[in-house]
Amino acid sequence: LIRDADIVIIGSGFSGAVIAERCSTELGLKSVILDRRAHAGGNSYSEIDPDTGIEVHKYGAHLFHTSNSEVWSYINRFTEFTDYKHRVLSAYQDKIYAMPINLLTISQFFGKFMTPESAMALIAEQRGEMAGKTPRNLEEKAISLIGRPLYEAFIRGYTMKQWQTDPRDLPENIITRLPVRTDFNTRYFEDRFEGLPVNGYAAIFERMLASDKIEVVLDTDFFDLRSQIEAMGKLVFYTGPLDRFYDYRFGALGWRTVDFERDVIGTKDFQGAPVINYADEDIPYTRILEFRHMHPERNYQTEKTVIFREYSRAAESKDEPYYPIGRSVDKDRYDQYRALAAAEENVVFGGRLGTYRYLDMHQAIGAALSIFDRTIKPRLTQPEQVSGRKVAAYS
């Protein structure tokens, strides 16, 4: 199989699937995808829960949203989307609030009906301690956005649980992902396009990978075949962990993993919402997912429901790496690995694990489309022009 392939792709998540799909559809070329898991789709994979018939996202809630119209029209070739719009609640000290922080949260928290103007004035006062200072970490950034009381209620405990790192030691950019609003918009995302795949995520991958020019080989670890693949001189698109590729020679990159505790409960509706965050530090999980609420359009049975409690911790070598931690030691190590990666003759690195970046699905798809155009396609179609120093694509 591999001998026949034009490209060998490591990982069948969105990054790998886009490259395989483009190589077959646009170039008519053959790919082999290796994945060490028993299914294609990477972390975006979903399946039907055997006890309840409810679609669960095996690696945590995956909500599709993007403002990138190229990515939106690309993904719409493989699925239709429902009109699902994600909303989240946050429980704190036995009360329930709207999340991300918006005028409803602020009104609820301070116990009075506020207008955008009065809320802004209050927050301006509460973030006064950061006035004129440049935030240097997540805590300072959060306080500069919302002030200390809201930070301590909704961000500090949750972030401590999620990252097991003091927010003063975390980069500020983690929190900039979470919007803060002074209107009553309670939607979680602000992107132009949002929805869930009508027939689930697994069906997207089946369609993306349906061509007979694409072979997906599951339960297979690249590192068991690496020397044969290298000896054949094949072009490799690698979306596994970057540090593993180099046998951790500069040290392991820090990742956070998530443990999901699945529970089937004999009730129609456990919590009345798809996701409830738990902000208190002494509640060990960060959130509870109830998947039936992600597809209200489906006629699920009403006797039982399935929930996942989500627990977060630092990943050890045997764990699934989920979120790059990005401490300064990680950044230094990443720079060293990246320099090696850029000098590779036959390997192109991509995806969340291969580039040590938190990528949402739409970003993984967008990045893979661009890697295809800039790097993979020229190498496969005009190899003579990109042979020798193939680093060009990185510089």
Report the residue number, 64 or 109, with the smaller CB distance to ligand FAD. 64
Report the residue number, 222 or 270, with the smaller CB distance to ligand FAD. 222
> Does the protein bind ligand UDP through residue 159 (CB under 6 A)?
yes
Is 327 labeled as catalytic in the residue annotation? Answer: no
Binding segment (CB under 6 A) for ligand FAD, from list 1-9, 57-65, 264-272, 341-349: 57-65
Catalytic one of 77, 190, 358, 373 = 358
Catalytic one of 310, 330, 333, 352 = 310
Residues 287 and 180: their CA atoms lie apart, in Å, by 20
Residues 82 and 75: their CA atoms lie apart, in Å, by 13
- Report the b/e string of 218-253 with b at 16+ CB within 10 A: eebebeeeeeebeeeebbbbbbbbbbbbeeeebeeb
For the chain, strand residue ranges (E) read 7-10, 31-34, 46-48, 55-57, 64-66, 88-92, 95-99, 193-195, 214-217, 235-238, 255-265, 275-278, 287-290, 305-314, 323-324, 347-349
Is 177 labeled as catalytic in the residue annotation? Answer: yes
Please, what is the minimum distance in Å from the beta carbon of residue 187 to ligand UDP? 13
Binding segment (CB under 6 A) for ligand FAD, from list 104-112, 191-199, 268-276, 353-361: 353-361
Query: Is residue 386 within 8 Å of 35, Cβ to Cβ?
Result: no
> Does the protein bind ligand FAD through residue 102 (CB under 6 A)?
no
Q: Which residues pair with 31 in a beta bridge?
A: 7, 214
Is 310 labeled as catalytic in the residue annotation? Answer: yes
> Does the protein bind ligand FAD through residue 324 (CB under 6 A)?
no
Catalytic one of 22, 37, 156, 287 = 287
Residues 252-271 within binding reach of ligand FAD (CB under 6 A): 258
Return all residues near 177 (Cβ < 8 A) that are at least 6 apart: none
Q: Would you please indicate which residues are annotated as catalytic (active-site) residues?
A: 177, 181, 256, 287, 310, 358, 360
Residues that bind ligand FAD (CB under 6 A): 10-16, 34-37, 42-44, 59-64, 221-223, 239-240, 258, 322, 351-353, 359-362, 364
